Amino acid sequence: MSERRKLTLKDIAKDLGISVSTASRALKAHPDIAQETIQMVKDYAAKHNYVPNIIAVNFRKSRTKNIGLIVPELVHHFFSTVISGSIDEAKKSGYNILVSQSNDFLADEIVACKTMMASSVDGLLISISNETYDGDHILEFIDEGKPVIQFDKILEKLPVPKVIVDDFEGGYSATKHLIDQGCKRIAHIAGRKDVLNACERMKGYKKALNDHQIPFKEEYIRYCESISEEEGEQFMEEFLALPNPPDAVFCITDLVALGVIKALKNKGISIPDQIAIVGFSNWKLAEIVSPSLTSIDQHGYQMGVVAVRMLIQKLEDKNFEIPDTLELKTRLVIRDSSVKVKA
Amino acid sequence: MSERRKLTLKDIAKDLGISVSTASRALKAHPDIAQETIQMVKDYAAKHNYVPNIIAVNFRKSRTKNIGLIVPELVHHFFSTVISGSIDEAKKSGYNILVSQSNDFLADEIVACKTMMASSVDGLLISISNETYDGDHILEFIDEGKPVIQFDKILEKLPVPKVIVDDFEGGYSATKHLIDQGCKRIAHIAGRKDVLNACERMKGYKKALNDHQIPFKEEYIRYCESISEEEGEQFMEEFLALPNPPDAVFCITDLVALGVIKALKNKGISIPDQIAIVGFSNWKLAEIVSPSLTSIDQHGYQMGVVAVRMLIQKLEDKNFEIPDTLELKTRLVIRDSSVKVKA
DNA sequence: CTGTTAGCGCGTTCAC
DNA sequence: GTGAACGCGCTAACAG
């Protein structure tokens, strides 16, 4: 049962009275090798349960078959979905995913990059932290000849391929959906102005208003700093204090929407009849909360799959050119929080 | 900036006119080497940004500094918390975590194990699937001299160290808390009878009842198959149909508790005044749902930290004996769903 | 068709 | 105090 030392090519070569290289080639069914030799070696290998020493193989080929994956937060529905997709896809090609998190701190992100670099991943997938405005630590990978792909939270100026969700379209369709429900005074609780995704959603929101002749009003806009439930609650209260409160709110994230819902419940305002709500990200909580929350799904799993697939393609074929930007479409998931008119 | 080929020991030996072995030893400040030589080499290395080729080092030492981590589900609050802890702790010692998921299928778990084995992780952390009743695929690691630690969902008969949460104590304290609130007819929506964690919680529940002279009644017990929200909802309805419905429910999991809450809301029954609820796991949703849910925290992060720490200790010191079972205490997190009497 | 040779980059005897 | 030499397990170029 427990073999002290694993069987090596050398062992099987010796036992079979052939050379190591013949054994090696036979196992790969190299065309030069005689059919019978191939059979013999393969049989022997199977019988003795030969497993090539991957560490040696990787050393020889100077690669690791490991892909680094850095996310801001691991314990986060969206990112764990992305990771899940990455892992499943990577597995198919025999790659492993090495996960690390930045906690949304630049310092941690840099450390994570260094660690990844040191442990010699073959390539990197990264979603940057909120503090990352400069990507030197990311470019180092490129310098070392290791391909990198950014996803979701990206640094636009970085000359590195990106897989993102079409936040603009998401913001647009969320807003349009509210308009379709007959809402006229649609507020938006936005993210930080310097975060790309947040800006795109805002742009989509504005465009939708514009396309439907609804004037954009600054009083219906709030900017989150930490994207928290508390902010949602507070901003909603501010909206309610307006002389002419909104009849709908599009929130940058489901968590913020949750705060909004809380505030409304506290005031006894009915959702969606008096005020309709749409979130973003389609977290687990969107279906759990009551009323269930209409949200924009970002296809996290798919994003993980796509990013990994492109990275591996590049890894296996140096000439493959990763498209500069790949935009995944969002999907509007309609639930109770926004549907004003039934039937 | 971009060095075509990385600097190797050989390069620096040649440039400095010394031998490779001297260079190697100097970098490690080997006592045999002259101080000045050490300085010279270190300076040179620092100046030229020498980074040892980890793949070669690992090959030489026949290890990877990678630790496999297999969980049933990646997109799951508890497990992502564990992963988060593992990664953070592993990083401290220069180890990487290689994550994989079984989707609660035995077949997938076996494949994941094979993959881990093939990619030569140095050791394995595993939380088994619901279908795993036999651990041959896990024992293979031991046979190969790779230490394994089970965590959370474990196979008890497997002679492999375990890090678990004290489910018995958790079940006990959840139940006792309800008793303390004055509840007399406490129901329990349990998990499958063949899942260890579920049984322990049940045992704790029974013990608490017994310690407080409350008779155990089979009519107040239901067993989940899939541990879903729907089951919680359905079972709660069944409870309500009883001639003498319970005044409290202890649920195997927060998700089930969510279903219970839904059922109660539908019937217009007030929580916690008419029926108090306690969940288990302390997911994010426990604080989000309304009323907020009292739950049992399992210290997932800590579990990841502890498991990794012990594995690494074993890895670095073959003589280290991992304790057979390490039980983490749970923590009762009291929220609105269970507190009957305020002040 | 097969064997010989030559490394990959590093660590580790064993001599000097 | 230092260097030469060997080998980890595997692949690949070159001979025959």
Instruction: Report residue A2's pLDDT band, with 50, 70 and 90 as the boundaries.
Output: very low
Asked whether residue B288, judged by its CB, lies under 7 Å from any atom of the DNA or RNA strand C, the reply is: no
Question: CA at B32, C1' at D9: how many angstroms apart?
Answer: 30
Residues B171 and B94 in one domain: no
Q: Which residues surround strand D, with CB < 7 Å?
A: A 5-6, 8-10, 20-21, 24-25, 27, 52-53, 56-57, 59-61; B 17-22, 25, 32-34, 37, 59-60, 62
Q: How many helices (H) and strands (E) does chain B have?
A: 13, 12
**pLDDT for residue A342:** 54
Residues B97 and B180 in one domain: no
What CATH number corresponds to the domain at position A207?
Answer: 3.40.50.2300
In-domain check, residue B152 = yes
In-domain check, residue A152 = yes
Percent of chain A past pLDDT 70, that is, above it, reads: 98
Identify the residue with better confidence: B310 or A144.
B310
Residues A158 and A237 in one domain: no
**pLDDT for residue A211:** 97
Nearest to B55 among A1, A58, A83 (CB): A58
Residue of A nearest to B262 (CA): A290
- Return per-residue pLDDT of chain B as tens, 343 residues: 334 568 899 999 999 999 999 999 999 998 889 999 999 999 999 999 898 999 999 999 999 999 999 999 999 999 999 999 999 999 999 999 999 999 999 999 999 998 888 877 999 999 999 899 999 999 999 988 899 999 999 999 999 999 999 999 999 999 999 999 999 999 999 999 988 999 999 999 999 999 999 999 999 999 999 999 999 999 999 999 999 999 999 999 999 999 999 999 999 999 999 999 999 999 988 988 889 999 999 999 999 999 999 999 999 988 899 999 999 999 999 999 999 865 4
pLDDT tens digits, A168-194: 999 999 999 999 999 999 999 999 998
In-domain check, residue A58 = no
Do B94 and A77 count as a contact with CB atoms less than 8 A apart? Answer: no
For B126, the enclosing helix (H) or strand (E) is strand B123-126
Ramachandran angles phi, psi of A187, nearest 5°: -90, 165
Closest CA of chain A from B55, distance in Å: 6
Reported in sequence order, the residue ranges of chain A that DSSP labels E, i.e. its strands, are 66-71, 96-101, 123-126, 148-151, 162-165, 186-190, 221-223, 248-251, 276-278, 295-297, 325-328, 331-333
Contact B248, B340 (CB under 8 A): no
**For chain A, what percentages of helix, strand and coil (3-state, to nearest 5) are there?**
45, 15, 40
Instruction: Report residue A5's pLDDT band, with 50, 70 and 90 as the boundaries.
Output: low
Asked whether residue B65, judged by its CB, lies under 7 Å from any atom of the DNA or RNA strand C, the reply is: no
Helix, strand, or coil (residue A228) = coil
Asked whether residue A34, judged by its CB, lies under 7 Å from any atom of the DNA or RNA strand C, the reply is: yes
In-domain check, residue A184 = yes
Residues A137 and A191 in one domain: no
Quote the Cα angle for A312-A317-A319, to 5°: 125
Cβ-Cβ contacts under 8 Å, B83 against chain A: 74, 99
Q: How many domains are there within chain B?
A: 3
Contact A96, A89 (CB under 8 A): no
Cis bond upstream, residue A272 (ω within 30): yes
List the single protein residue with the shortest CA to C1' distance from D7. B60
Mark out the alpha helices in chain B (DSSP H runs). 9-16, 20-27, 35-47, 54-61, 77-92, 106-118, 136-143, 167-180, 196-211, 229-240, 254-267, 284-288, 300-316
Residues A217 and A265 in one domain: yes
Residue of A nearest to B58 (CA): A55
Residue contacts between A and B (CB atoms, under 8 Å)? 128
Strand partners, B248: B186, B276
What mean pLDDT do residues A24-39 have?
92
Instruction: Report residue A24's pLDDT band, with 50, 70 and 90 as the boundaries.
Output: very high
In-domain check, residue B335 = no
**pLDDT for residue A1:** 37
Does the pLDDT value for residue A3 go beyond 70?
A: no
Do B143 and A289 count as a contact with CB atoms less than 8 A apart? Answer: no
Ramachandran angles phi, psi of B127, nearest 5°: -115, 115
Cα B96–chain centre separation: 16
Residue where a domain stops, chosen among B276, B298, B320: B298
Range of the domain at A207: 167-298
Do A290 and B262 count as a contact with CB atoms less than 8 A apart? Answer: yes
Residues A17 and A47 in one domain: yes
In-domain check, residue A264 = yes
Residues B307 and B248 in one domain: no
Residues B137 and B175 in one domain: no
Q: Is B227 left (phi over 0), alpha (psi -120 to 50) or beta?
A: left
In-domain check, residue B58 = no
Residues B323 and B176 in one domain: no
**pLDDT for residue B224:** 97
